[in-house]
Amino acid sequence: MEGKEPKRILVLGSAVIDVIIDIERLPKAGEDIPGIQKGMIVGGCAFNVSKILDGLHMPHDLCVPVGQGMYANRIRQALRQGAHDVLIEDTRCDNGYSLSLVEKDGERTFISIDGIETKWQDAWLANLDATRYDYIYASGYGFQDGNTSGDVIMRFLRCKKPDCRLILDPGPRLLGKQFEEELLQMGTILEMNQAEAKAMGQSEDVRQAARNLQKRTGQPVIVTMGKAGTLCCTSDEEPIVPAVPVKAIDTIGAGDSHTAGFLAALAQGKTLLEACAEANRVAARVVQHVGCSLQ
């Protein structure tokens, strides 16, 4: 915005390898079904969000750990191609990978094999100043019970500015119970899908679930509902912003791209409803082809 300093964004999380396999449908227990491998690309929630922010020409810092091995080498190359510095390197093991099973209707299911991205250490973040940022993106994958990575990331987030907004995508695994309450009290805007909202908000009615979560965070709760649009729940209203009608080819990265579009719009000073509309437009572009990309 003219006359104002641009908002500073930090994208914090993981980069992994997505192995994309097309299938007719998910197999039943004991079945053997054919699949077609469609690609092996760099993904992971944080990397995907960063990639879309790059496509939207939104400056930001990307902080993802890079290990040692064939997957890490691909990730390192992708970061350099995107003009992002490798801020964290650790030779203890390779980065993880995810089998992304894409059904005929575009729905996807993941099987994740963890790597260095689940082994966070305080030393990794020692040279990163949390107080520099106006928005910090994080994923629920970093806050799983029984993994000390969540403790490390929490110690970093506790140092952020009071008015810094945490854009948090709980993800399908949701947040570990040991982290949930504190995370939701950090000026946190939840960006999630219907299933995640219903599970975290403890209601089968998505509006009620969003209300329940909004009361806990004191911040807007954004719920993506596919073709039904995006629910924007605040303390005053809960409108649904219409989706952009398109034929989905591949929904891998749809949620991450929606989050990136929403975050970019907020950082540009747009209203919540404008940000939701922009997020819908960005996600609609991404699902029309294979992989999380605007092209």
Distances from the Cα of 183 to the Cα of 135, 187, 198, angstroms: 14, 8, 18
Structure confidence at residue 5 (pLDDT): 73
Beta-bridged to residue 221, according to DSSP, are 190, 233
Q: Distance (Å, rounded) from C-alpha 174 to C-alpha 200?
A: 7
63: left (phi over 0), alpha (psi -120 to 50) or beta: beta
Residues 6+ apart with CB under 8 A from 167: 135, 136, 137, 138, 188, 189, 191, 259, 262, 263, 266
Q: Distance (Å, rounded) from C-alpha 164 to C-alpha 223?
A: 21
Structure confidence at residue 3 (pLDDT): 47
Structure confidence at residue 4 (pLDDT): 66
Please name the CATH architecture into which domain 9-26+35-286 falls: 3-Layer(aba) Sandwich (3.40)
How would you write the pLDDT of the chain (295 residues) with one tens digit per residue? Answer: 454 677 999 999 999 998 989 999 999 999 999 999 988 889 999 999 999 999 999 999 999 999 999 999 999 999 999 999 999 999 999 999 999 898 988 788 889 999 999 999 999 999 999 999 999 999 999 999 999 999 999 999 999 999 999 999 999 898 999 999 999 999 999 999 999 999 999 999 999 999 999 999 999 999 999 999 999 999 999 999 999 988 877 677 889 999 999 999 999 999 999 999 999 999 999 888 776 777 7
User: Which helix (DSSP H) or strand (DSSP E) does residue 195 occupy?
Assistant: helix 194-201
Compute CA 50 distance to the chain's CA centroid, rounded to the nearest angstrom. Answer: 9
* Cβ–Cβ under 8 Å, residues 23 and 35: yes
Indicate the residue type of 271.
Answer: T
Domain ranges of the chain: 9-26+35-286
Residues 6+ apart with CB under 8 A from 271: none
